[in-house]
């Protein structure tokens, strides 16, 4: 389980991996799992997007985890129990 906080992204900052259609897709491809429910342990609504988070206490970390819309807009810190996937894209990899 990880304690995380949302990172605000510009809306046009899509995943640039060849083959990823969205950040949720990015998470599914990296983990080879299907994102069904929101990763927040106190939520459990259907996962709608790949949320961008950093681990509490580590300001330079940047991961993708499945979240629902509401949880992607949270400003508090919360626990997620889904795998955290690096937000770095294949090829055009960016330094965050």
Name the token pair of 51.
């949320």
| Choices 1-9, 51-59, 73-81, 84-92; region in contact with Zn ion by CB under 5 A | 84-92
Nearest approach, Cβ of residue 57 and Zn ion (Å) = 22
Q: Which is nearer to Zn ion, 7 or 89 (CB)?
A: 89
Q: Which stretch binds Zn ion (CB under 5 A): 4-12, 24-32, 52-60, 77-85?
A: 24-32
């Amino acid at each position: 389980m990880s304690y995380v906080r949302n990172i605000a992204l510009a809306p046009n900052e899509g995943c640039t991996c060849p083959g990823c259609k969205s950040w949720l897709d990015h998470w599914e491809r990296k983990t080879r799992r299907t994102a069904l429910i929101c990763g927040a342990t106190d939520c459990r609504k259907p996962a709608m997007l790949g949320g961008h988070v950093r681990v509490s206490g580590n300001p330079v970390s940047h991961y993708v985890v499945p979240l629902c819309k509401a949880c992607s807009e949270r400003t508090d810190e919360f626990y997620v129990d889904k795998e955290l996937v690096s937000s770095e894209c294949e090829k055009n990899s960016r330094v965050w």
